[in-house]
């Protein structure tokens, strides 16, 4: 049983970075595919489509920072805390990046038809990013209470 608890602690330590990166890969891929399609269908604005497709990459950065905040020796006393914070934060970052990628893809698709609504079409992606920031800050604050 101790081995399982320790394994969960290690998974929690590296989970935010790994899960955030997985979500960022999927989210950037979804938005990038929409951007690639928009490049074929429009004459201008190509740079903004490519730039928007990179928005979900921020969750990887949040995951790396949380991983460093949680970085300590894994012991039976702190393994459950590391697992809870790390894995739940990692899942929040992963899903945030995926859904932000979907929001960015939608923004790209509507703005290629009506370029004047480009800014407004990014609002859903910004809102989703806000939830990633909430998970990030929560993990940083609560990580201070996990024993070293």
Answer for the pair 112, 41: CB distance below 8 angstroms, yes or no.
Answer: yes
Give per-residue pLDDT as tens, 19-68: 999 999 999 999 999 999 999 888 888 889 999 999 999 999 999 999 99
- Residue-level pLDDT at 75: 95
Q: Give the CA angle between residues 75, 9, 84 to the nearest 5°.
A: 120
Tokens found for residue 15: 């989970």
> d(Cα 86, Cα 71) in Å, to the nearest integer?
10
Tokens found for residue 82: 């590391």
- pTM (whole model) above 0.85: yes
Answer for the pair 92, 21: CB distance below 8 angstroms, yes or no.
Answer: no
Q: Domain-by-domain residue ranges, the chain?
A: 2-143
Q: Mean per-residue pLDDT for 96-105?
A: 98
Answer for the pair 41, 102: CB distance below 8 angstroms, yes or no.
Answer: no
Q: Mean per-residue pLDDT for 114-131?
A: 94
Tokens found for residue 141: 């604050």
- Residue-level pLDDT at 148: 86
- Residue-level pLDDT at 13: 95
Dihedral, 7, 26, 92, 59 alpha carbons, nearest 10: 100
What is the CATH class of 2-143? mainly alpha
Q: Is 44 strand, coil or helix?
A: coil
């Amino acid at each position: 049983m101790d081995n399982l608890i320790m394994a969960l602690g290690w998974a929690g330590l590296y989970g935010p970075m790994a899960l955030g990166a997985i979500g960022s890969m999927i989210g950037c891929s979804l938005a990038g595919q929409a951007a690639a399609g928009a490049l074929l269908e429009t004459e201008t604005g190509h740079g903004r489509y490519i730039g928007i497709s990179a928005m979900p990459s921020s969750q990887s950065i949040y995951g790396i920072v949380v991983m460093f905040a949680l970085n300590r020796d894994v012991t039976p006393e702190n393994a459950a805390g590391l697992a809870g914070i790390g894995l739940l934060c990692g899942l929040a970052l992963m899903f945030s990046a995926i859904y932000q990628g979907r929001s960015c893809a939608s923004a790209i698709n509507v703005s290629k038809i009506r370029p004047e609504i480009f800014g407004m079409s990014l609002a859903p992606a910004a809102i989703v990013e806000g939830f990633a920031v909430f998970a990030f800050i929560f993990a940083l604050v609560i990580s201070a209470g996990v024993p070293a």
